[in-house]
Amino acid sequence: MGLSGISLLTTTYSLILQHQSLLLCLRAKGFGLDLKKDMEGVDYLSDERKKAQFDVEAMKIAWAGSLEAFQLSDRMAKLVANDPAFEKFTRPMLGRKELIKNTLRKAAHGWKLIVDLRLTEEEAKWLRLYIDEPAYTDLHWGMFIPAIEGQGTEEQKKKWLPLAKKMQIIGCYAQTELGHGSNVQGLETTATFDPQTDEFIMHSPTLTSSKWWPGGLGKASTHAVVYARLIVGGEFHGVHGFIVQLRSLDDHSPLPGVTVGDIGMKFGNGAYNTMDNGVLRFDHVRIPRDQMLMRVSQVTREGKIMQSDVPRQLIYGTMVYVRQTIVADASKALSRAVCIATRYSAIRRQFGSRNGGPETQVIDYKTQQSRLFPLLASAYAFRFVGEWLKWLYTDVKERLAANDFSTLPEAHACTAGLKSLTTSFTADGIEECRKLCGGHGYLVSSGLPELFAVYIPACTYEGDNVVLLLQVARFLVKTVSELGYKKPVGTTAYMGRVASLMQNNCAVQTAEGWLNPGAVVEAFESRAARMAVRCGQQLAKYENPEEGFAELSADLVEASIAHCQLIVVSKFIEKLQQDIPGKGVKQTLEVLCYVYALFLLHKHQGDFLATGYLTPKQASLANDQLRTLYSKVRPNAITLVDSFNYTDHYLGSILGRYDGNVYPKLYEAAWKDPLNDSDVVDGFYEYVQPILKQKLRTAKL
């Protein structure tokens, strides 16, 4: 065995300690490998990194939002990455029980760190993010506590929040039922007031009323905020939240009348199976009256329903908040996938060898660029629109505090639409990144299968993406119909210029002409305005507007998408009008902004042509410009994904390793599959040998 063989053994030594069985395999398998070029500590992407035309450290800050945000996130990422307790490589190989036990351990370890290091809530949030494993704590902190904060009275908050914040109780958010998700008013669980005992009786009257899906409910939670139909005096008074204890605080066993369990396996290896999404049924479970969350509506001792003067619109504020975080998550998920695919596209070579030289890096193929770079640009676009949404939320909050509800419908439609747009695109984008990695993207060790499987529920939860787009459409059609007497605000302000947007056509005459923010925004505004107006005209033909809305819903969805894409493009352009420090940073982002806009323009050229705003020639010029832009992205591609500042732990991908040392690590990883524990597979003597020996007739199968 030469030097190269020894180098392989050294490399893998730490892994071997964890996986004794591996040792034998690798000793046997290390022979003859020419690994001279594959040693540790080499950066296989260093040539790529030298090509950067911008200051990477400054771009990291631009991506993070501020120096402080960067430092905080960086600190938490490294804290997790350097702690072996958070190892996640073996996750996809664990059976369900082991998997959940492992998650409980990580959650406890994370909480211990938060307490021991006295982390702030913000730091704790980033820590949980980088642990990168869905767990009951997400719902406890992200839904249970906020529900009490938002819907509880001062008294209720005083009682429950200290318990929850010390985790003396663990809570979840039990809204969705087996038969009802999108339609909250259709929930069937009942909470019936019993004036004799001053209690509510929680009950699950039908099979479909079983609570179904809530995360953390199945195995971990001791409490839940349960949404149920309030029944007082035999009458139905809407759906409200109730704090219900589910399990004993001593031995964790379900309380009498409570049936609770896990709903079973979900998509993917590891992925969301670390979460105990639960099923819950009540058999006339009694809770004290003061466990109904009563900030907005109250039931008195006498069984009277009272309304407080707290504005009901508050609930929309919460929705804006939650959806804003979902948009932020979309940019995280998409950027992770793009980082993996971009790095591996620079490592992977295929075809094009000249005179026995190296083959072409696949990132140099235009087909690869035309699929990958728009995803890269989208990751940045979503990052910046998410940042803007954060501002929008604070603005909405301030206005609500001042009883100003004027911008609320627009803000609500805008966040609903952006949630839908960014999550759908991200889900598809992750799978596209997987395909861009060729066959190896199909391996769990690429990280992409788990990223996809864990991400896709975002298209369904917190509002199904198509249902949300229909809400946006309703708002757009209303805005158009009211143009005569109501000035559109915020992201619909452009509708105020509808007359000129319907009339003026595009003036671009060269490919370079498209490198003009005004021309780009006008194109997207005209397309969106024309599609919305056209929907309005079509709807007017129906006697029954609801019937028309139902009939035309597919077209309405397309108009909504046009409007939402306009928002993302506009906010990217607005971002570039701000000061962004660092050599070449703004120029590089400008290229990405045009890539994003012109990619959409080409993809949806049907809309632009059908509305008559563009001529085929102009659409073709945009496409020509797009090709030129890809060449401008190319030298910066690796450093643009480095700017996300993701650790190898967070990426969780051999293909996306920072150092690009892909093939030796893929090879090593293979031997860790439990199947390779033995040379002869379990089952050989029972099920394979009888075939080979032609003794199947007498074999016991």
Does 457 participate in binding a copy of itself (rule CB under 8 A)?
yes
Does 682 participate in binding a copy of itself (rule CB under 8 A)?
yes
Asked if 431 and 340 touch (Cβ cutoff 8 Å), the reply is no
Q: Binders of a copy of itself among 558-577, rule CB under 8 A?
A: none
10 annotated to a ligand binding site: no
Q: Binders of a copy of itself among 644-663, rule CB under 8 A?
A: 663
Say how far apart CA 379 and CA 370 lie, in whole Å.
15
Does 268 participate in binding a copy of itself (rule CB under 8 A)?
yes
DSSP 253: P
Q: Give the one residue of 5, 11, 16, 35 binding a copy of itself; rule: CB under 8 A.
A: 35
Does 29 participate in binding a copy of itself (rule CB under 8 A)?
yes
Does 453 participate in binding a copy of itself (rule CB under 8 A)?
yes
Say how far apart CA 436 and CA 20 lie, in whole Å.
35
Say how far apart CA 160 and CA 164 lie, in whole Å.
6
- Catalytic-labelled residue, pool 462, 546, 551, 574: 462
Q: Binders of a copy of itself among 286-315, rule CB under 8 A?
A: none
Output the six-digit token pair for 464.
Answer: 């199904």
Q: What does DSSP say about strands 171-174 and 223-232: parallel, antiparallel, or unpaired?
A: parallel
Q: Give the one residue of 218, 409, 517, 656 binding a copy of itself; rule: CB under 8 A.
A: 218
Q: Give the one residue of 43, 68, 512, 686 binding a copy of itself; rule: CB under 8 A.
A: 686
Does 105 participate in binding a copy of itself (rule CB under 8 A)?
yes
Q: Which is nearer to a copy of itself, 173 or 384 (CB)?
A: 173
Does 676 participate in binding a copy of itself (rule CB under 8 A)?
yes
Q: Binders of a copy of itself among 330-349, rule CB under 8 A?
A: 349
Does 276 participate in binding a copy of itself (rule CB under 8 A)?
yes
- Encoded one letter per residue, x for contact with a copy of itself by CB under 8 A and - for no contact, window 467-486 reads ---x----------------
Nearest to 125 by CA among 136, 145, 110, 144: 110
Task: Tell me, rounded to whole angstroms, the distance of Cα 670 from its chain centroid.
Answer: 29
Q: Give the one residue of 1, 2, 13, 31 binding a copy of itself; rule: CB under 8 A.
A: 31
Q: Which is nearer to a copy of itself, 571 or 665 (CB)?
A: 665
Instruction: Match 């056509």 to its residue by tokens.
Output: 505
DSSP structure string for 309-362:
SS-TTHHHHHHHHHHHHHHHHHHHHHHHHHHHHHHHHHH-B-S---TT----BG
Tell me which H or E stretch contains 202: strand 199-203
Does 683 participate in binding a copy of itself (rule CB under 8 A)?
yes
Q: Binders of a copy of itself among 585-604, rule CB under 8 A?
A: 604
Does 378 participate in binding a copy of itself (rule CB under 8 A)?
no
Task: Tell me, rounded to whole angstroms, the distance of Cα 85 from its chain centroid.
Answer: 24
Does 361 participate in binding a copy of itself (rule CB under 8 A)?
no
Q: What does DSSP say about strands 285-288 and 190-194: parallel, antiparallel, or unpaired?
A: unpaired
Instruction: Match 């919305």 to its residue by tokens.
Output: 532
Beta carbons within 10 angstroms of residue 566's beta carbon: 23
Does 694 participate in binding a copy of itself (rule CB under 8 A)?
yes
# binding residues, a copy of itself (CB under 8 A): 154
Q: Give the one residue of 51, 78, 101, 487 binding a copy of itself; rule: CB under 8 A.
A: 101
- Encoded one letter per residue, x for contact with a copy of itself by CB under 8 A and - for no contact, window 609-628 reads xxxx---x--xx--x---x-
CA distances from 484 to 409, 478, 488, 528 (A): 18, 11, 10, 18
Q: Binders of a copy of itself among 416-445, rule CB under 8 A?
A: 428, 431, 435, 438-439, 442-445
Ramachandran angles phi, psi of 247, nearest 5°: -130, 155
Q: What does DSSP say about strands 305-307 and 258-262: parallel, antiparallel, or unpaired?
A: unpaired
Q: Binders of a copy of itself among 151-210, rule CB under 8 A?
A: 166-170, 176, 178-183, 186, 204-208, 210
DSSP 491: G
Q: Which is nearer to a copy of itself, 317 or 417 (CB)?
A: 417
Q: Give the one residue of 3, 97, 196, 577 binding a copy of itself; rule: CB under 8 A.
A: 97
Q: Least distance from C-beta 583 to a copy of itself, angstroms?
A: 30
215 annotated to a ligand binding site: yes
Nearest to 672 by CA among 1, 2, 29: 29
Tell me, yes or no, if 668 is annotated catalytic: no
CA distances from 165 to 12, 132, 135, 247, 585 (A): 43, 21, 16, 18, 41
Say how far apart CA 683 and CA 681 lie, in whole Å.
6
Q: Least distance from C-beta 483 to a copy of itself, angstroms?
A: 23
Question: Which residue numbers are catalytic?
Answer: 462
- Annotated binding residues for FAD: 176, 215
- Annotated binding residues: 176, 215
